[in-house]
Structure 1
Amino acid sequence: MTLAALVAAGILGVVAVCGINSYVCARAEPFFTTQEEAPVCDAILILGSLVYQSGAPSPVLTPRLEHGLALYRAGKAPKILVSGDHGTKTYDEVNAMRDWLTARGVPLQDVFMDHAGFNTYDSMYRARDIFQIKTVLVVTQQFHMSRSLYIARALGLEAYG
């Protein structure tokens, strides 16, 4: 392959990635909401992230938990679904998230745990098919929200974030 062909392929790849990203962002943007304007939904879905060996949530996960708790306290949903990685005995995002929430007053019966939310698609699919959620407030970081809402809505969830 010539240098010109490699450069052209690289440019085409960048344009394709940017185009797809723009499409996903445009499709998700109408469903971005603030805590005050968020509709009441079946559940709040907090997507997992790194948990330390001590069980403490990482600086990425803590703001997700805080925001999910604020939505719950504001009455935006009666249940919280925590979804994350619990693929081994020694790594458990889900119980750490549940423990964090219950330590702050969320009743245990209001927290559901998805131990197989290994990626965004799995979390959304399982929210719909295993936990029978129809309307959901997705909690994650801004950089991850467009993709999360796009996947949720592509799967038929009425999702906001």
Structure 2
Amino acid sequence: MKQFHKLSVIAVSLFAAVQAYSATQSVEVLQPQVEYQQLVNQRQVIDDLLAQAVEIQKSPARVSDAGFTAKLPSNMERIADILLTAHKLEPYRIDFVLGAANAYIYNGNVDRAIELYKQALEVAPDDVKNNMYLASWYRYKGDDKESGNYLKHLEKIAPEKAATLKQVFATIDKVTKLPIVDKSETKLTAQDAIITLGYALNPDGSMNEILIQRLQKTLELAKQNPEALIIVTGGVPKNNQTEANLMKKWLIEQGIDAKKIFADNYARSTVENALYSRYALAHHKIKHAILISSGSHVRRGQTLFELATRDSGPQGITFEAVAALDKPLAELQKVSAKDLLGIYRDSLIVVGLPMFNSGVLRD
């Protein structure tokens, strides 16, 4: 009992001493280096900027020109300006700079895009995606020396990505050297497929004449090869219709067995045509496929399908392209700069380099 009393006296004495010391000392409270409200306001501004970019990206959702599907250039310029404004608020967010650069790619202004890629590289010189962009777009411009410099750096920092990029370049080179044809002598079996790419519907939900031309070419080949699987792909809705549904319905009305038609109603772009359809090809163990699209678009489609199926299979699948002629056949033999830009841009997306990757702003 006495021991407990002594401990109590000691505790009370210590408490009194601490209280007395505290009364004579001022307690310093650490202040945050940046006002919390300032951080909240800055974050809100960036969120609002990104929301504006998303709205611009959505309107219009899709604009097509002879098989070339993209956002309006004026919209892309506005998105680039917004992302660069956001970057001024957050200087280390190089995803904003890369997004702005890619918006310029959509516009065909590759020189301005390269300036921005190199600006981002000053912050993160070993950024893998940025080095892939620079290697690709210098190659597109025909500057193999500069392209090779970035490719060599990639081999040091990310050899697997360098190998992927070499595959992209080899595939582009191969496909762009192939002649455009509007017929095929290949005899297809049940292990082969005909793939028809969609095209934006009219505002009232009816099929555009370009899409009907593609279907007419599909019908021609389907009658020559009745055992082949038919894949129709396109999922941008207009007036509660999708391209693939209307394509399938049209082919059935022309006498094609519905059981032979697989409709992908989700793809919103040529990239997604390839990414989504590849699993139908893998499931049915397709060995060879004929790709049908407009003459000015079919090279891009073949390139993307070849790249996409390298990851998913089926292993050893081969592709050929047949054009629904939207231009004279002789005129289509030369690859335009616009077509080549679309091939490079979409090929990079297929192998995992998004155009936009900033929060809510996505491809």
TM-score by length of 2: 0.36
CA, structure 1 residues 53+77, in 2 after alignment: closer, same or farther (shift >3 Å)? farther
1:101 aligns with 2:251: yes
Runs of 4+ aligned residues of structure 1 deviating over 6 Å after TM superposition are 12-15
Instruction: Give 1:38's match in structure 2, choosing from 161, 166, 186.
Output: 186
Query: Post-superposition shift, 1:35?
Result: 2.5
| Structure 2 counterparts to residues 120-135 of structure 1, below 5 A | 120-132=270-282, 133-135=286-288
| Structure 2 counterparts to residues 7-156 of structure 1, below 5 A | 9=111, 17=140, 19=142, 26-28=173-175, 29-30=177-178, 33-38=181-186, 40=188, 42-52=192-202, 55-75=205-225, 78-86=228-236, 90-132=240-282, 133-155=286-308, 156=310
Partner of 1:6 in structure 2?
none
1:159 aligns with 2:307: no
Aligned alpha-carbon RMSD (Å): 3.2
Check the 8 A contact 2:171/2:306 in 1, yes or no: no
Aligned residues: 152
Check the 8 A contact 1:120/1:148 in 2, yes or no: yes
Partner letter of residue 264 of structure 2? D
Partner letter of residue 291 of structure 2? V
Q: How far, CA to CA, are the matches of 1:39 and 1:121 in structure 2?
A: 27
Instruction: Looking at secondary structure, tell me which structure has more helix per residue.
Output: 2
TM-score by length of 1: 0.75
Query: Post-superposition shift, 1:70?
Result: 0.6
CA, structure 1 residues 146+90, in 2 after alignment: closer, same or farther (shift >3 Å)? same
Pick 1 or 2: higher relative contact order, CA cutoff 8 A, min separation 6. Answer: 1
Query: Post-superposition shift, 1:40?
Result: 2.3
Query: Post-superposition shift, 1:108?
Result: 0.9
Runs (5+) with no aligned partner, structure 1: 1-8
Partner letter of residue 44 of structure 1? I
Runs (5+) with no aligned partner, structure 2: 1-110, 116-136, 144-168, 311-316, 322-363
Q: How far, CA to CA, are the matches of 1:137 and 1:123 in structure 2?
A: 14
CA, structure 1 residues 122+134, in 2 after alignment: closer, same or farther (shift >3 Å)? farther
CA, structure 1 residues 77+93, in 2 after alignment: closer, same or farther (shift >3 Å)? same
Partner letter of residue 35 of structure 1? K
